[in-house]
Every structure is written in C-alpha cells, then in structure tokens.
Structure 1
Amino acid sequence: MKFLKRLFKIGQAEVHSAIDGIEDPIKMTEQGIRDMKQDLDKSLEALAQVKAMSIRSKNEVEEYGAKSEDYNEKAMLILKKAQSGGMESQEADRLATEALIKKEEAFAGQNRAIADKEKFDQNVLQMEGNVQTIKQNISKWENELKILRSRVKVADATKTLNKQMAQLDSNGTVALLERMKEKVAQEEALAEAYGEIANNSKSVDDEIDKAINIKQTKATSELEKLKEQLGISDSNSQN
C-alpha cells in the first residue's frame, strides 16, 4: 500500500514538473509540502468536529445534571404534599417513584455524557498534537526547501563554472599564441625582406642622385649664372 502511495506521489510530482528519469528533490519536497498542507486541512476539520462533539457532551452533562436535580426536587415536593394532606399517600408514592426513576435515568445519561466528553477531550488533545506536528513539519520542510533551492543554484553555478574550466584547452591556447607569435615574426621578416629588395632594386641613377643633391647643385649653378649676368662677384657680395 505504501509502495502504491509512493508511486502515486511520484506521479503527482511529475504533473507539476517534468522529471528527467529520476525524482527531482525540489519537486518531491514541494509535493510533500502540498500533501502535508492537505493533511493539515483535513486534521483541522476533524479537530473542529471532535471539539464540537466535546462541547455537545459538556452541554449534555449539564442538561442531565439539571434534570436529575429537578426530578429529585419534584419527588421531594410530592412527598411533602402527601405529608401535608394535599395528596393521597399511595398516589404520592407512585409519582415520587416515577420521578426518582427519571432522576436515575438522567443521572445515567449524565454519566454517559461525562464519559463521552472525557473520550472526546482525549481525542482533541491527541489531534491538537497531530496538528501541531504537521504545522512544525510544514515549517521545517519549507525552510528545508529554501535551503535546497539555494544549494541547487550554487551547485548549478559551480557545475557550470567547473565545466567551463574543464573544457578550457590550456595547451591549445598556448599553441595558438605560439602560432600567432610565429606569424607576427614571419610578417616582420617579410616586411624587412621587401625593404631590402626595394633597396636593391634602385638603379645606378638613383644611387648617383642619392650621392649628390641634384636640386641643390642645379640651384647653386643657376645662382652663379645669375650673378655673372648681374656682374656680381663673390668679393662684391662680401663687401
């Protein structure tokens, strides 16, 4: 029976959230809390009913007690009336006897009501204890659920981080960096090689032009020619 109830509870949890092959602790705890709250509602309802029966038994005790005293008082009044001559003695004895019989019936009813009340009171105490236990369990499991949810979040975050760390290929990263450095060195060497080729590809004219400043030489020659045309000599310019 417990096995079937367990299967039924698993089925309920699966309705609230799909479970991937195994029982999800959080979903099972949530389902357990829902079950306990349902039990609490039923226990509170039953407790109210038992308390109502206890109150009814208490009222019956009082009612039967009042009837017992009333019949006893009536029997006494009947006997007193017969004693004073207001009623025949035989009739008074009969009615007084009937009253005392009613008194005993009421007394018996009172004792029965007392026994019922004691039984109901014991049930009330027991059920109140059960209700208190269920409330404590609900509070306990709700706190456990909060902690469990927090632990799951931390565990998931840690798992994700560790998984990412585990998937890092440090050797591959170093190899990539080495390849990049090699590529940069190769590009730098290639640029230098192109520079050397460019220098080697200069013509003889370029080398001659580089050896002498053609522009400066031409400008100096033109300056000399212009001075000659103007009759300016270096001595005049110095004076």
Structure 2
Amino acid sequence: MNIFKRLLTIGKAEIHSVIDSFEDPINLTEQGIREMKEELAKSVEALARLKALDIRKKNEAEAENQTANDYYNKAVVIVQKAEKGEVETTEADRLAKEALKKQTIAQENAQHLQKEHEKLFAECEKMQGNINHLKSSIAKWENELKTLKARVQVSEATKDINQKMTQMDTGSTVSMLEKLKERVVQQEALAEAYSDISASGKTIDEEIDAIVKNNDTEAEKALNRLKETLKKG
C-alpha cells in the first residue's frame, strides 16, 4: 500500500489538508482504498489459514490428552487383573509400566500441542484486531472520499461562477442597462404621442355628431324631469 502509506504516515495532520496537498487527491484516495481492500482480503485469507492450524493443534492436544487417559486406565486394569490373579504379577508390572510410559509421552505431547494452540490463538486474536482496524480505516477513508468528491464539486462550481463574474465588464453592463432604460422611456413617450394623435384625428362630422348626441341626451333627461313634475302636480 505504498500510495496510501503516504497518507497514513503523515501523523496527526488533518485529513483534508493532507489530501489537498496532492495533485489528484480523488484518484490517489481511490487507489489507496483499493490497495487497502486488497490487503484486507489477503489478511482475511491468512487469518483463515492460521485459525485452521490453531483448531488442528487444539484437536491434536485434546486427542493426546485422551490417549494419556486411556493408557492410564489400561495400566489400572492390568494392575487390577494382577491383584485378582488373572495375570502374572511380573508380566502385569511390565505392561503397566509400559502403559504409564506411553501415558507420560502422550501428556507431554498434549502439553506441547496446547502451548502451540495457545500461541496460535493469541496470533489469531492479534491478526483479527488488525483486520478490524483495517476495516475501520477503509470505512473511514471511503467516507472521506465521499466528502472530498462533494467538496470538489462545490469548489469547481464556485470557481466557475467566480470566473464568469470576473470576466464580466461591470461598466459595460451598467451602460447597457442605462441605454435599455432610456429606450423604454422613449417607447412609452412615443406610444403616448400616438394615442394623442389618434384622439385628435376625428373628422368635423364626428365632432358635430358627438356634441349633438350629447345635447340630445341632456334634452331627453330634462324632458323626463318635466314629466315627473307634472305628474306630481
């Protein structure tokens, strides 16, 4: 994990500041995570082999203990048969001694295998701790990678906006807006002028009819008021 060791050997430095110092932090982090996962797979495989050996030693130790117990029981049976006269005493003593010797050898083997089992078990526990730490580190860096990608997206968007803002000519923009405002005012004035022209463009007959119509209406109203008055009288 050469690349990721560059990150892990920095010490207590902040992760973000460390990552920012590289040319391509995302690719470096992704590659580092891949290497850590490869290392994790190798460690799990090694742990499985070590545990298999540990289990084997444990089973062998238990088997040797059982063998030692069997030889002891056989020695007891031989002595009991000699006491009952079923076996000649000298022969019984010889066989019982041989059984006790084999018991001692089996016990020694069992003790040796038990020590190997205990040593292997301790190594398995240590390796399991390293694997757990490696898993935790992978999860940590994967979260950091997500954060890093989000930061890159935000920074790129911000940079793009700021770049566009710096490229804008503020003076020309204001000038353009002023010209647009002046044009709108001019258009509004022109529209009002056309409205005045349209209103004043009536013919003589139209003007006469308008006045006559207005007078007829007034006369009609006066006639109606007169009729009302007569009715009341």
Report the TM-score when normalising by structure 2.
Answer: 0.65
Aligned to 2:40: 40
Q: What displacement does 1:90 show?
A: 1.9
Q: What displacement does 1:55 show?
A: 1.3
CA distance in 2, matches of 1:35, 1:129: 19
AA of the residue aligned to 1:160: D
Aligned to 1:151: 151
CA distance in 1, matches of 2:3, 2:140: 21
**Are 2:123 and 1:118 aligned?**
no
Q: What displacement does 1:180 show?
A: 8.7
CA distance in 1, matches of 2:174, 2:54: 83
Task: Please say if residues 3 and 31 of structure 2, whose CA atoms lie closer than 8 Å, have aligned partners that are also in contact.
Answer: no
Q: What displacement does 1:136 show?
A: 0.7
Report the RMSD for the aligned CA atoms in angstroms: 2.6
Aligned to 1:98: 98
**Are 2:128 and 1:128 aligned?**
yes
Structure 1: unaligned runs, 5 residues or longer = 10-21, 185-239
Q: What displacement does 1:86 show?
A: 2.2
Alpha-carbon spacing, 1:181–1:61, altered in 2? closer, same or farther (3 Å): closer
Q: What displacement does 1:178 show?
A: 7.4
Larger Rg computed on CA atoms: 1
Aligned to 2:53: 53
Task: Please say if residues 72 and 103 of structure 2, whose CA atoms lie closer than 8 Å, have aligned partners that are also in contact.
Answer: yes
Alpha-carbon spacing, 1:181–1:69, altered in 2? closer, same or farther (3 Å): closer
- Percent identity (aligned): 46
Task: Report how many residues are paired.
Answer: 168
CA distance in 2, matches of 1:52, 1:23: 45
Structure 2: unaligned runs, 5 residues or longer = 7-21, 184-233
Q: What displacement does 1:88 show?
A: 2.2
Alpha-carbon spacing, 1:142–1:82, altered in 2? closer, same or farther (3 Å): same
CA distance in 1, matches of 2:56, 2:179: 94
